[in-house]
Amino acid sequence: MPINIPDGLPAKTILHRERIFALEEEAATRQQIRPLHVVILNLMPKKIETETQILRLISKSPLQVTCDFMRVSSHTSTHVSEDHLVKFYQTFDELKDEFYDGMIITGAPVEHLEFDSVDYWDEFCEIVDWSQTHVFSTMFLCWGALAGLWHLYQIPKKPLGQKLFGVFPQRLCDEYNFLTNGFDEVHYMPHSRHAAIEVSELANHPELHVLSEGFTSGPALIATRDFHEIYVTGHFEYGRDTLADEFWRDMHAGLPIHLPENYFPDDDPENQPIFTWRAHANLLYRNWLNWVYQMTPYDRTRIPEEIEKLRADTDEEIDKF
Q: Which of 142, 187, 191, 228 is catalytic?
A: 142
Enumerate the β-bridge partners of residue 102. 38, 137
Q: Which of 191, 194, 235, 280 is catalytic?
A: 235
Q: Which of 229, 237, 246, 280 is catalytic?
A: 237
Q: Is 237 one of the catalytic residues? A: yes
Closest-CA residue to 89 (of 125, 37, 45, 39): 39
Which residues lie below 8 Å from residue 196, measured CB to CB, with a gap of 6+?
A: 146, 157, 158, 160, 164, 217, 218, 233
Answer for the pair 229, 152: CB distance below 8 angstroms, yes or no.
Answer: yes
- Separation of alpha carbons 155 and 148, rounded Å: 9
Q: Is 142 one of the catalytic residues? A: yes
Residue type for position 97? D
Please report which residue ranges of the chain form alpha helices under DSSP H.
11-17, 25-28, 47-58, 82-88, 92-95, 121-134, 143-153, 242-252, 278-295, 303-320
DSSP 259-306: PPBTTSGGG-TTSPPP--SHHHHHHHHHHHHHHHHHHS-SSGGGHHHH
Catalytic residues: 142, 235, 237
